[in-house]
């Protein structure tokens, strides 16, 4: 397949493939979609026909300070999975193992703050048992050294996280010329002791969830400097 050829060509060049995966939710529960999941063309679950309890039906998150709502309610109309369903957990883990069998080297795991810690401990344990060398990191939005709950997640979940704290400091230094410059970056590094393996925090300059660097400051030279750092 095209995917198999791509993985093969990447590995020939010494590159690793990171796959962005989602365990928290399916598609938006709108007419014509409704979180439907298919296996070889046969529908096995949907938000509307949920006799096996694969989904939460609690509406949108209303209070972002309420942990139960953050974990169990819908995010932006997306059909929120019920991780307490054994059938769902079996399905999602087997699906991700199939991607590892395809040659995927690492997972970037979406919306990790929206599922309970025990689920991720189970998930990571199963993935590492299946493929011991797999690298796994989570997207805890705006997480990093200054977000205590994300630090706890990185210490206890078995996976590391995207370093939003460093990204923010890099943006302020290179794109916004914020006072104190590189001291802000140094302060992030000075918090490395909070993480059991700080060298596994995933560094990045921008991503799809935030304004791109060049939309903040259209300066390719500064962008190259940020990436070089």
Contact 89, 74 (CB under 8 A): no
The residues, ordered by sequence, that sit 6+ positions from 136 with a Cβ below 8 Å of its Cβ are: 106, 107, 109, 124, 127, 128, 158, 159, 160
Q: Tell me how far apart the alpha carbons of residues 91 and 30 are, in angstroms, rounded to a whole number.
A: 23
List the one residue out of 124, 43, 47 whose CA is nearest residue 89: 124
| 3-state DSSP assignment of residue 121 | helix
Q: Are 137 and 108 in contact (CB under 8 A)?
A: yes
- If we measure between CA atoms, which residue out of 138, 46, 33, 116 comes closest to residue 88? 46
Please tell me which residue in 105, 110, 126, 172 is annotated as part of the active site.
110
DSSP track, 55-114: B----B---TT-HHHHHHSBBTTEEEB-TT-HHHHHHHHHHHHHHHHTT--EEEES-GGG
Q: For residue 200, indicate whether it is catalytic.
A: no
Choosing from 139, 163, 171, 206, the catalytic residue is 139
Give the neighbor-by-neighbor strand order of the sheet with 18-21. Answer: 18-21, 106-109, 135-138, 160-161
- Told to judge if 101 belongs to the known catalytic residues of this protein, a careful annotator would answer no
- Catalytic positions are 110, 139
């Amino acid at each position: 397949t095209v995917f198999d050829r791509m993985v093969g060509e990447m590995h020939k060049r010494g590159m690793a493939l990171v796959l962005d995966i989602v365990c928290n939710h399916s598609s938006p529960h709108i007419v014509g979609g409704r979180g439907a999941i298919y296996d070889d063309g046969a529908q096995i679950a949907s938000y509307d026909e949920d006799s096996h309890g694969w989904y939460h039906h609690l509406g949108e998150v209303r209070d972002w300070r309420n942990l139960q709502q953050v974990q169990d309610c819908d995010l932006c109309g997306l059909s929120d999975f019920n991780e307490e369903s054994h059938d769902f957990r079996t399905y999602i883990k087997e699906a991700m193992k199939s991607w590892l069998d395809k040659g995927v080297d690492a997972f970037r795991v979406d919306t990790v703050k929206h599922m309970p810690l025990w689920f991720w401990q189970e998930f990571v344990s199963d993935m590492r048992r299946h493929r011991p060398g797999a690298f796994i990191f989570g997207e805890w939005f705006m997480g990093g050294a200054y977000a205590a709950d994300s630090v706890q997640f990185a210490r206890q979940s078995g996976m590391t996280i995207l370093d939003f704290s460093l990204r923010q400091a890099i943006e302020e230094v290179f794109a916004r010329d914020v006072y104190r410059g590189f001291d802000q970056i140094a302060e992030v590094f000075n918090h490395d002791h909070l993480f059991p393996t700080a060298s596994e925090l995933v560094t990045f300059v921008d991503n799809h969830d935030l304004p791109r660097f060049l939309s903040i400051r259209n300066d390719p030279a500064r962008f190259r400097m940020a990436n070089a750092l």
